[in-house]
Amino acid sequence: MEIRHLRQLADAVPVAMLVVDRRSRVIAANQAANAIFGPSLTDRPFVTVVRHPSVNHALDWVLDPESGPPPHDDPDLPPPGPTIQKLRATLSAQGRDRACVVTVGPLVIDGARGASIAIEDSSGVEQAEQMRRDFVANVSHELRTPLTALMGFIETLRGPARNDPAARDRFLDIMEREANRMNRLVADLLSLSRVEGDERRRPVQDVDLSGMVRSVAATLAPAARNAGVSLDVEKVPTEPVIIAGDNDQILQVFHNLIENAVKYGGSGGVVRLSLAHVPHEPVLRGPGWAVTVADEGEGIDPLHLPRLTERFYRADTHRSREKGGTGLGLAIVKHIINRHRGRLRIESEKGQGSRFTVILPERKGRG
């Protein structure tokens, strides 16, 4: 292959790519390579661009098969062959460390031996892996807490409380509460994974927002009343407001938000629900409908606001546990709203209550 063709090819490849000659001098580098290693890479010895012993060793072997294979210690990658080699390396360039997968292969350029070096930045993949590990660790921890309580009580019921009916009843009540907590956690996890699974599919059902908000409010009113909270639906129109959505999911959004307002903002005694038309919502790039759930409780410290929709994030862990929360309610809400191409706005001031607003796009061809 001719060198100018190689340069064209390298520029068409989305990963960083360098080509070196027989003496491991860089003779071509694409833009993705410049983005990682900086400008003016050609004519430099490869070792001055990528300083990594395993990569340099792999390149030596490709350029000179007599020099022998580099050590192989990564069980996830195939053992190096004499022709093409893949390895993982953390490369430092322009003041940054990047986890990369490097592929080194032979090339014949203008009749002479050379090599290509392709470098994929895998930090995004590793970050996703790390998030997955954190998630599993969190789930295990959340399940273990009620499980430990259950196991402790089983032991007590077998031993010291065996012949104490009063204690037995009390312990069974606690065990039931803990088992319910595990049940809710599993249900929320399943619902989160289902929502994530559909996130790319556009919801197509007709959803009546005003009917939905009123019906969730009616369902939750008795429990709210028991907690000393009234649900005010005065600002929710009585006529239907139809959007394109998923009925079960939208129901879950309002259910979770109203439940939170009662649980955490209930000290204000009232939770106000409203539904209003928004002529233009910048994030939606168009008109929408806004449902607001506003409480007059203690409010949320601004410090917590940006992280509230993360899985298992709670402003007050103790309080959430005591109220039987799973820490997943708002994460589910956020995913459902994303699927509906809407937005969630959270406003709160300490001592002034909180407002959770869901804005969903208006159905096209309204009417």
Ligand X SMILES: Nc1ncnc2c1ncn2[C@@H]1O[C@H](COP(=O)(O)OP(=O)(O)O)[C@@H](O)[C@H]1O
Can you tell me which of 80, 146, 299, 329 binds Mg ion, judged by CB under 5 A? 329
Q: Which is nearer to ligand X, 2 or 322 (CB)?
A: 322
Q: Which is nearer to ligand X, 121 or 316 (CB)?
A: 316
Q: Which is nearer to ligand X, 53 or 324 (CB)?
A: 324
122: which 2 tokens?
Answer: 């895998």
Q: Which is nearer to ligand X, 245 or 325 (CB)?
A: 325
Applying CB under 5 A, the span of 27-35, 44-52, 116-124, 324-332 interacting with Mg ion comes to 324-332
Beta strands 26-29 and 353-361 are unpaired
- From the list 66, 121, 59, 101, the residue with the least C-alpha distance to 84 is 59
Q: How many CB atoms lie within 10 A of CB 233?
A: 19
Buried residues in 166-180 as b, exposed as e (16+ CB within 10 A): eeeeebeeebeebee
CA dist., res. 16 & res. 94, Å (int): 15
Q: Which of residues 246-305 bind ligand X (CB under 6 A)?
A: 256, 260-261, 264-265, 295, 297, 300
Can you tell me which of 314, 334, 335, 340 binds ligand X, judged by CB under 6 A? 314
**Residue 344 interacts with ligand X (CB under 6 A)?**
no
Can you tell me which of 70, 146, 325, 342 binds ligand X, judged by CB under 6 A? 325
Task: Find tokens 């996830």 and name the residue.
Answer: 76
For helices 247-265 and 329-339, the axis angle rounded to 10 degrees is 140
Can you tell me which of 46, 326, 337, 343 binds ligand X, judged by CB under 6 A? 326
Can you tell me which of 354, 358, 360, 362 binds ligand X, judged by CB under 6 A? 354
- From the list 310, 327, 363, the residue with the least C-alpha distance to 188 is 327
- From the list 260, 278, 293, 257, the residue with the least C-alpha distance to 342 is 278
**Binding letters toward Mg ion, positions 243-282, x by CB under 5 A:** -----------------x----------------------
Half-sphere exposure for 321 (CA within 13 Å, toward CB): 8
Binding site for ligand X (CB under 6 A): 256, 260-261, 264-265, 295, 297, 300, 308, 314-316, 320, 325-331, 354
Binding site for Mg ion (CB under 5 A): 260, 329
